[in-house]
Amino acid sequence: MDSATNATNARPVRTRYAPSPTGFQHIGGLRTALYCYLFTRKMGGQFLLRIEDTDRSRYVPGAEEYIIESLSWLGIECDEGVHIGGPKGPYRQSDRKALYAEYVQRLLDNGWAYYAFDTPEELTAMREEYKTAENPSPQYNAFTRRHMRNSLTLSDEEVTTLLGEGVNHVVRFKIPADQTVVVNDVVRGEVVVNSNELDDKVLMKSDGMPTYHLANVVDDRLMGITHVIRGEEWLPSTPLHVLLYRAFGWEDEKPSFAHLPLLMKPDGKGKLSKRDGDRLGFPVFPLAWVHPLKEESSSGYREIGFLPEAFTNVLAFLGWNPGTEQEIFDNRADLVDAFSLERVSKSGAKFDYNKAKWFNEQYIKALTPAELAAKVRPFAPAEMADVSDERLTEICALLQERITLLPDVWEQGAYFFGMPQSYTRKVLKKKWKEDRKPHFQSLRDDLAALSDFSAEQVETTVKAMMERTGLGFGDVLQILRVMLVGVVSGPSIFEIAALLGQEETLKRMDYGFSNFDAILAEPAA
């Protein structure tokens, strides 16, 4: 059994993915969801989706639906959540507001929290007064709170009056001084922090909404979360969360923590961001999405032609490895079985977009031509959309080994749907010689005489022409390929000709005989 369960092995494993509906869904968030899902499935537990929307100023309409769609595309199935319900709901924090007030009051009553009435101006003045070269950003902590306007420095009567008058205030957590806080992290190992390094975080804002720290801990406890798997950026907040568990008397039931490594830019220098994706030409988000409150839109892996199974494989290897040479997990059950939090790396995971495309290639190659045809059809340009399933399957069979992204079938196979729009002049200039033209005319007549226009018969006919004329493969096949498809790269020209059909092949050869001289006479572009 995975040793990550040691601290909580008496309870069924329960994990959560708890994103905020604030806009684009970063690839790092989806990796967190996947790791939670894989670990939970391996342990036979429950995985839930919770929406953490306590920061209403950053709420974006439609973002919640976007998150759910992203998980669905990747096949990350939830056992409970905002979209399906469950016994521990509601699963949207804005629907749990009254509940948080009860738990804040508990902390106020037992001395672990206090009211703070400081104005923004007073907070700014405090930071200026206590700023030093060694401490350029003073915190609201065990030292400075003694000099501020809060329920620790005011009389009970003053506090009651201020509350009764509705004076703006927040509730802060009272960090104990000079205590050692230990976080046992599955990925990081033991992390030790002195409480003097922590500040008195706000637990309840002036609008009555809880902050992330309070809502997160309360919800994890009430929802029975046994393992908190999240990004490295939350590690500095974890000592506070450990203290909150202590303050509530829940320390013996706090979850195991596992903080995942940062996702790094392709060059390994710095955290991967949306700007990096835009600059380097690849998406950072799983799905295309238009931000309704800003003039922003994302490109998406689904929309550019990644298979969800391949993208899942990509995500899995962003900070984890199975300890073997295996890279392709085409069976979800095998990936679940191989996954372990103990094999998650501490160091940042470099995102390699070219490697991601390699994964997609492997999954595309593993499909049957008919399966590939069904997956590429949604990407069809309007002028090609009416192609039959049978013919599209034949085209996919011919191109399958050469494509990286699903739309490549339509781009690389455009010549199956119409005459080439341009021709490789370099080949024509080198190979389209006056003394060879009669030989190509003869080849055209031989192909016209075929009663069986299969790839094998086309190949036999072309090779017979080469044998009697003494022309080599480069002399004949390059010109024939340019005549039929316009370029010199691609799958077997014999198979292309057979798929184009006899009539279309002869038509394109006739066009070449009639137009290549004129094309060569045109000024080079």
Q: Which two tokens stand for residue 134?
A: 């060694």
Please say whether the structural domain 419-525 has been given the CATH code 3.20.20.70. no
The pLDDT of residue 525: 63
The pLDDT of residue 4: 56
Q: Hey, what's the torsion of the CAs at 318, 323, 325, 329, to 10 degrees?
A: -60
Burial class, 514, CB count within 10 angstroms (exposed 0-12 / middle 13-18 / buried 19+) = exposed
The pLDDT of residue 522: 86
Cα angle, residue 347 at apex, residues 346 and 353 outer, rounded to 5°: 125
Q: To 10 degrees, what angle do helices 502-521 and 473-485 make?
A: 100
Q: To 10 degrees, what angle do helices 455-469 and 437-448 make?
A: 150
Cα angle, residue 456 at apex, residues 450 and 461 outer, rounded to 5°: 50
Closest CA to 372 of 334, 411, 398: 398
Instruction: Report the distance separating Cα 484 and Cα 423, nearest Å.
Output: 10
Q: Give how far the C-alpha of residue 83 lies from the chain's centroid of Cα atoms, to the nearest Å.
A: 20
The pLDDT of residue 56: 85
Q: What is the DSSP letter of 55?
A: -
pTM above 0.95, yes or no: no
Strand 113-116 versus strand 170-173 pairing type: antiparallel
Torsional sign, CA 244, 250, 251, 254: negative
Averages of pLDDT over runs of 10 residues in the chain (525 residues) are: 51 96 94 98 98 91 96 98 97 94 97 98 95 91 96 98 97 96 96 96 95 96 98 96 98 96 90 88 93 89 97 97 95 97 95 96 98 98 95 97 97 95 92 94 97 98 96 95 94 97 98 93 79
Q: Which two tokens stand for residue 299?
A: 């490109």
Instruction: Report the distance separating Cα 328 and Cα 191, nearest Å.
Output: 34
Q: Give how far the C-alpha of residue 114 lies from the chain's centroid of Cα atoms, to the nearest Å.
A: 40
Q: Which two tokens stand for residue 56?
A: 């209403």
The pLDDT of residue 1: 44
Instruction: Report the distance separating Cα 239 and Cα 192, nearest Å.
Output: 8
Q: Write the single-letter amino acid at 305.
A: G
CB contact at 8 A, 441 and 452: no
Q: Which of 274, 355, 357, 375 is catalytic?
A: 274
The pLDDT of residue 96: 94
CB contact at 8 A, 341 and 42: no
CB contact at 8 A, 491 and 399: yes
433 counts as catalytic: no
Instruction: Report the distance separating Cα 78 and Cα 2, nearest Å.
Output: 21
The pLDDT of residue 128: 94
Closest CA to 489 of 471, 477, 500: 477
Q: Where are the domains of the chain?
A: 3-260, 419-525
Q: Which fold has domain 3-260?
A: Rossmann fold (3.40.50)
